[in-house]
Amino acid sequence: MSLRLGDIAPDFTAETTQGTVNFHEWIGNSWAILFSHPKDYTPVCTTELGAVAKIKGEFDKRNTKVIAVSVDPLSDHNGWINDINETQNTNVNFPLIADPDRKVAILYDMIHPNASENVTVRSVFIIGPDKKVKLILTYPASTGRNFDEIIRVLDSLQLTANYSVATPANWRDGQDCIIVPAVKDEDIPAKFPKGVTRIKPYLRYTPQPNK
């Protein structure tokens, strides 16, 4: 059965480039991003891992751990990381799971037979401290991910987890939010002291509560 939003992220133990990881224990009280790669020593994946290494500080600021996975063995990962560091002018600073038996790939439904019978598609899972899946994205192997968008979604998820708001189309951290319909008008002054802009009875904007 495929994973759905709100499901508990499957736990697993795996070898990584930074030692053995027990996934739920590794997440701890943090948020986590698990993202898969079709194969080591491939061009698009090389740019992606380099991109994540360069912005890892942004994830750290958001109490978020990042971990990658591909179906290749640890020996391949270690050699590939050298190539990534060299070609992307960075230092891979997060673990890469070795999944040669495809255990993690199967748990997270990362192998799509229509795309390939033995390698993973580009999947992204954002997992909360409660170990529940908050976001699932799947890209084809030919398209590199936009990690600025993944950070944008992470900001939205962390905001909406703590306040009765949703984020509108193209929202960025610091912009106005939408008050969720469950909040009654009479409760707005107490919940949102920064004020409200009413466009329609169901469309009410407020400045971002945590800024």
Cα separation, 87 vs 172, whole angstroms: 31
CA–CA distance, 5 with 8 (Å, rounded to integer): 9
* Residue entry with tokens 């996934």: 23
Residue 92 near residue 53, CB atoms below 8 Å: yes
Catalytic site positions: 45
Burial of 131 (0-12, 13-18, 19+ CB in 10 A): middle
Of the candidates 20, 32, 25, the one whose C-alpha atom is nearest the C-alpha of residue 108 is 32
DSSP assignment of 86-133: HHHTS---S-EEE-TT-HHHHHTT---TTT-SSS--EEEEEE-TTSBE
SS3 207: coil
* Residues 125 and 154 sit within 8 Å (Cβ to Cβ): no
